[in-house]
Each structure stands twice: as C-alpha cells, then as structure tokens.
Structure 1
Amino acid sequence: MRRSAPTLALRLAGLGLTGLLGLTGLTACTGPDTEPPPAPAGLTAQAGSATSVHVMWNAAADHDGVIGYQVFEAGHLVRELPAEKTMVDITGLTPQTGYAFTVRAEDAAGNLSGPGPAALVTTPAVKAEDRTAPTAPATTTARATGPRSAQVSWTASTDDTGVTAYDVYQGGVRIHTAGPTESSTALDGLQPDTVYTLTVRARDGADNSSPDGPAVDVTTPPASGDGPGTAPAEFTAAASPGTVTLTWTAPDTGRPTTEYELYVNGLPTTVIQFGAGAVPSGRAEHRLTVTEPAGTVWAVKLRARLPDGNWGSFSAERRITLAA
C-alpha cells in the first residue's frame, strides 16, 4: 500500500531514524498553488480621444510571481498583456460614453487576483474634421523623487477644440498619459541610477498630437547599496558636415574608463575605445565620420564598460540632424 511522506516520517521517527529523511529524498506533499496574487495597484484610466482610453497600473512585485494582466471593461475581458506591460490603449470606443476599467493579475498557476477598485472615465465628444494639432508645451521640468520615481511638469498647450491629454515620452516611447487639466505628473517604475530624457506632447479629441515640448533630463539616484552612478554625464552631440562630435564626462567607476558602447536610433552601432595613454581625464570627446545624407535624424546615447566587465547605465539621449 502507498503511504504519504508524512506517514512514513512518523514511522521513521518512532525508530529514531528521522535524519534519514534527508537522505531518502522523502518530502512532505504540498498541494497545488491556489493563492492568487494581489490586485494591481495604482489603476488609472485617461481618455486620449473621443474613441480611445489609456489605462495604466503599477507593476506587480517580483515575489508575486505575476506572468500577465487581464484588462476588463464593465466585467468584460478586453485585453490580455504580458507581465512587462503595465499600460494599454483601448480603442474603438464610443464618444461621450462612460467606461469602468479593472485589471486582474495572473500568476504561473493560473490564479487571478481580484479586480480592485475600478477606474472610471468618460470619452469626450468627437470633433468633426479636426486636423489641427495642439501647440507644444513651451517648457518642461523634471526632478527625481527617488531611485525609481520622478516628477515631470510642463506648461499648458492650446488647441482649437481643446486639449484632451498630455503624453510623456522617454526616448520616443510614450510611458505615461496625464489629464487635460494636469500640468505635472508622477512617473513610477523607473530604474535607479539612470538618465531619462523626457518630452511632453499635447493631444486633442481627434488624436492629433503636438510636436515635442523641450526635452529635459532627469537622473534617478542609485538605490541603497548600488554605489556611485554609472551613466556618462553631460552628454552632448553636435553635427557638422561629414562629422558627428560626441562629448561627455566619464562616470566615476574608480578606474579609467576606456570603452563605451554607442547606440544610434535604439540600436548598438559601435564600441568607442581609448588606447593606453589616451584615456581622457574630465571631459571625453569622440568624432564619428558619417556618410548618411544630410537631414538624416539620429538619436544617440552611450554607456560605459565598468571595471567588473558589465555595461553601466545609459547617458541621456540626444537627437541630431546630420549636416550637409
């Protein structure tokens, strides 16, 4: 007859042989994982246009074992997302209509969290034949509020039919949406010891987006125990005919920094190396010979090789237009 491990453990204990359990590989039986993860916190819903809503929430903690999220509107599943996604645009909605969004987290065992409080939102009226984009925010400021958070502020834009949202971009990717009456917002889920280059665009009810407002850099501090910052500081990029000149201040790694990896338009392009005796002190400079046509736009950033062999954090990203 087959006995469970706990029963055998009791019989062995009676013989004074409980220490053999570790040698025999017998373990107590555990049941299936039936404990759901906690409901996602920080849920917001912001109308981006007359027919779309931007839904956001805070990422689950690592120890929750979340592998994905399910987005519901009035109890009906509308989107499923992997764990690394914590925002989504819900499109095809009806103008001047109220919606209630909830999000549930799912773990590897298929357990779903509760929905948590719903985020309520009403889409604005549609504006017929609106092809005029809002003006760009005139100023942008930002400050780090912790290793993983920052506050970004901007001045209001104008639009012939009214601004419906402000979108915050990092490196050309939208990372946050704020309401039409807001002039600042908190950003969460950032990385410690990282330079973020942020811009803000205004959007109207017809989904017309303004040009970027002025870019602003914000550097999150290292988390406790992370040591000094590893990102190249005060990074600049300038284009002249046939040449791009990069300058920066080396990170304080405790040793001379001789190797940097350059990214152009989000892709690793080349490794910049300084030979023995040529390592710059203070400000570093490197010139690239370019053959691309004038008017080509580059977004450039770089990171340093650290003494432990890993790459450090990225510098701020700079956009340049190649010169004739």
Structure 2
Amino acid sequence: MRRTPRSSLPVALLTALAVTAVGGCDWGGGGDGRQDTTPPAAPRGLTVEAGSATTAHVMWNQATDDTGVTGYEVYRDAKRVRTVPGAKHMVDIVGLRPATTYAFTVRARDAEGNVSADSKKLTVTTPKAVAADREAPSRPADLRGRAEGSRSAMLTWGKSTDDRRVASYEIYQGGSKIHSVGGGQTATLVTGLRPGTAYTFTVKARDAADNFSPASRKVRLTTGAGEDAGRGTAPTGFRATTHRADGAYYIDLSWVPPRTGGAVAEYQIQLDGRTATSLVFGGTAPRDKAEHSFYIGKKSGERHRVRIRPKLPDGTWGGYSPTREVTTG
C-alpha cells in the first residue's frame, strides 16, 4: 500500500525562497557618479491585528537595502495611508469602518527614492461597532514575565472583563506601545530584545469603542547575558527520520511548537545548510505536536542534515531547532 506523507494539516507548501544576493552598487557620491537604482528588499514578517472597531495595528520586519532603508509606506487596499521612518516597524491605522475587511501591504523606500516590491498582503476584519459604549475594560490582572534566553521574553496576564467584549490587549515597553494581540489571547512572546538588559512591561485592555483599561501592574525582567541564538523561541523535541514509498524517499519531521502565547502557523525548513521550503499550516495550527513529511529523492544511502525554525506571531523568525542527520534507505 502506498504510504503518503504524514502531513495532513498543511494546506500550502511553498516553494523554496530564493536567496537574493545584493551586490555592491554604485550610488550618488560614488567614484563614478552613478546613482543608486537598486530598490530595497520587500518587507517580510507582516502582521495585522484589529485593535478596535476603527483601528488596526500593522507590524513588519526591517527590510534590507544596499544603502539603507529610510522609510516605509503602508498601503490599505492599494492606497497609501501612512509613511513612517526607516527606524520604525509598526503603526496604528485609524479611521477604519467597523465590521469591514481591509487588506494591508508595506513597501520600503531608500534615500534615492527606490521603492521595494510589496510585502505579502494580509487582511483583517474590524469588530462591529457598539453604540454609546463609554465603559472601559477592567485592568489586566497578575501580569507576569520571564526572560526566554537573551533576546525574548514571555508575558502572561489575567483576562480583562468588559460590558461588551475586549477587542485587543496592547503591550507597552516602558511608555511605548510595542505590540498588540487579540482579545482572546492572554500571553505573548516579545522578541527583538537585547542581551543582559533590564526591561519594564505593562499591558492595557482595549474594547471595540477604543476605551482603554488602566495599565496592568509593571513587570520587570532582565534578559540573559549571553548569545543563545534564540533557543527560547525554537521548536523542541525535534526528530527526523526517513521512509520509502513507491520508489521514493521522504523525510519525516516531528516537533513541539514553541510557546508564544499564540499558534505558530508557519515554519521554515533548512536542508543541508540551505532553505528548502516554507511550511504553512491551514485551519488550526498544532500547539502540542506538529508533524510534516516531504519528498527528498530516489537514491538510497544519501545523507542529509535538516532543521526548522518558526515564524513567531509578531512576524519575526524564531530560533532554529537542533540539526538532525538522516540517511535514506
């Protein structure tokens, strides 16, 4: 009987992402006087979360460019709605209509005016409006935090109550908002932190009418001093084996998704030191154990090295799992 790959959950197996090598480029002020005509790479890691009935929180990863990104353009349904400096990677879009679906993309721009291709497009639907709601949600209770290695931290808090419903939770680092999660989520992994650094976090609840709760109590933590390559955000229990079906070999993977406060729906698979595929789970992504199997070839006795890393809910890549070696046949 034919044995099929054990990955029934994934609905999309994207082709390998090409690695774009940006070579040296002559630009204004260079020895030959030619201007920079190379656009930045398209921003990656886009996430969009409805903050209320009239707002959306858009985040993305820093784009790369041969001379440096100076700004980002945020588009809503193909119309540019905001421009932010190159050092900023998030923005709140206001003035939206309740119970409406919007599509967002982001482009990067460099100092010479070169504009990148669009980021991937994400849609979000704002909640329904609530009439004359002036009652704010209750304060999130019992905020707790712990460092997850040197560059991330896990925050958890108690659920807030509201006369209608909580639309989102806003996470603050000091006095600056750094993230937003849905109203049904009471934990999140904060990434992009610096090693050996003290941080202070608070959380506020927000309803569909843009009423904010008082800030939670402060939680203070210090990240680990050493570089850990993101181990706190890596999958655990990673295993790799092979099987043969109809004259071909497959690599079978299993792992425990990292704890992020939300589901991890996308992973990047690295094979023999190079990115092989991106794996996207459709529907409900697995939280306790994930499995996937992919075709590797028809030759017996071939050795391969494989590892994976997750795309975290804030759009950044997590740490790699340990590397496993397998031999076909």
TM-score, normalised on structure 1?
0.57
1:147 aligned partner, one-letter code? S
Shift of residue 139, structure 1, vs aligned partner: 1.5
Higher helix share: 1
1:43 aligned onto 2:46: yes
**Deviation at residue 146 of structure 1 after TM alignment:** 3.9
Taking the aligned partners of 1:69 and 1:186, their CA distance within structure 2 comes to 25
| Equivalent residue letter for 1:221 | G
**How big is the shift at 1:29?**
4.1
Q: Which has the larger radius of gyration?
A: 1
Is 1:211 the counterpart of 2:214? The answer is yes
- 1:98 alignment partner in structure 2: 101
Match of 2:189 among 186, 189, 195: 186
For 2:70, the equivalent position in structure 1 comes to 67
Distance 1:63 1:224 in 2: 27
Within 5 Å, give how 1:234-253 maps onto structure 2. none
Query: Is contact 1:59–1:189 with CA below 8 Å preserved after alignment?
Result: no
> What is the aligned length?
199
Check 1:35–1:146 CA distance in 2 against 1; reply closer, same or farther (3 A cut): farther
Report the Cα distance in structure 2 between the residues aligned to 1:186 and 1:59, rounded to whole angstroms: 18
Deviation digits for residues 275-297 of structure 1, max 9, x if unmatched? xxxxxxxxxxxxxxxxxxxxxxx
Instruction: Write the distance in 2 (CA, Å) between the matches of 1:214 and 1:62.
Output: 40
Deviation for aligned residue 1:151: 2.2
Show structure 2 runs of 5+ residues with no match: 1-29, 229-329
* AA aligned opposite 2:51: G
Superposition deviation, residue 214 in structure 1: 2.3
Matching residue within 117, 120, 131 for 1:117? 120
Note closer, same or farther for the CA distance 1:220–1:172 as it changes in structure 2 (3 Å cut). Answer: same
Equivalent residue letter for 2:59: M
Determine if the alignment matches structure 1 residue 201 to structure 2 residue 200: no
Contact 2:51 2:208 in 1 (8 A): yes
Give 1:138-287 correspondences, 5 Å limit.
Answer: 138-222=141-225, 224=227
Question: 1:62 Cα shift?
Answer: 8.1
Q: Over aligned residue pairs, what C-alpha RMSD do you find?
A: 2.2
Q: CA deviation at 1:149?
A: 2.4
User: Does structure 2 conserve the Cα–Cα contact (< 8 Å) formed by 1:38 and 1:64?
Assistant: no
Q: Write out per-residue CA displacement over residues 208-249 of structure 1, whole angstroms, 9 at most, x where no aligned residue.
A: 111112211121223549xxxxxxxxxxxxxxxxxxxxxxxx
Aligned mate of 1:85, from 88, 95, 104: 88
User: Which position in structure 1 is the counterpart of 2:320?
Assistant: none
Which secondary structure does the structure 2 equivalent of 1:71 belong to?
Answer: strand
**Partner amino acid for 1:125?**
K
Read off the aligned partner of 1:220 and give its amino acid letter.
T
CA contact (8 A) 1:58 1:189 kept: no
- Distance in 2, matches of 1:34 and 1:186, equals 38
Q: Which residue of 1 aligns with 2:289?
A: none
1:181 to 1:64, Cα distance in 2 relative to 1, 3 A: farther
Q: Relative to structure 2, which stretch is displaced further, 201-210 or 29-38?
A: 29-38
1:49 counterpart SS class: coil
1:64 and 1:33 map into 2 onto residues whose CA distance is 8
Residue 67 of structure 1: how far off its partner (Å)? 0.8
CA shift digits 1:7-26 (9 cap, x unpaired): xxxxxxxxxxxxxxxxxxxx
C-alpha distance 221-63 of structure 1, shift in aligned 2 (>3 A)? farther
Distance in 2, Cα, partners of 1:208 & 1:144:
30
Could you tell me the TM-score, scaled by structure 2's length? 0.56
Q: Deviation digits for residues 86-110 of structure 1, max 9, x if unmatched?
A: 1111111111100011111111222
- Cα separation, 1, equivalents of 2:67 and 2:168: 32
Please give the alpha-carbon distance, in whole angstroms, between the structure 2 residues aligned to 1:60 and 1:144: 26
- Read off the aligned partner of 1:208 and give its amino acid letter: N
Secondary structure of the structure 2 residue equivalent to 1:152: strand
One-letter code of the match for 2:167?
T
Q: Distance in 1 between matches of 2:164 and 2:203?
A: 19
Q: Read off the aligned partner of 1:161 and give its amino acid letter.
A: R
Deviations 1:241-287 (A, max 9, x none): xxxxxxxxxxxxxxxxxxxxxxxxxxxxxxxxxxxxxxxxxxxxxxx
Matched, 1:107 2:110: yes
